[in-house]
Structure 1
Amino acid sequence: MAKGKGKAKQIKGKLKETAGDATGNKRMEAEGRAEKVSGKVQESAEKARKNLGGR
């Protein structure tokens, strides 16, 4: 389930980053990039947990 949440966070971050770029809002753009990275980390952590036999 966390993998899905991580992917959703990445998509939301990409949308936010694109909206920030389109409007010239650098803060929103940066928040979007940060959210994308957070989603990737969350997804990777879930993959690692699965590979180690965790839930």
Structure 2
Amino acid sequence: MREERGISQLTLSQGAGFNDAFVGLVERPARREKYNLNHLNSIAKFLKCSIKDFLPDIPL
């Protein structure tokens, strides 16, 4: 969704109230940092969408 909207990692990090490098760290597959529900809620507020938009309809 971030890429579809043309939003940089830095812009999302700052807009959601995270450390400047946080989104970049989470998006690296080799890193252990991942989003939790609080992170997703902050991102949803920034992107003006629902937190449900980040979750699958059917459990994985």
Which TM-score band applies after superposition, normalised by the shorter structure? Answer: under 0.3
The TM-score with structure 1 as length reference comes to: 0.28
**Structure with max Cα Rg:** 1
Higher relative helix content: 1
Q: Which has the higher contact order (CA 8 A, sep 6+)?
A: 1
The TM-score with structure 2 as length reference comes to: 0.27
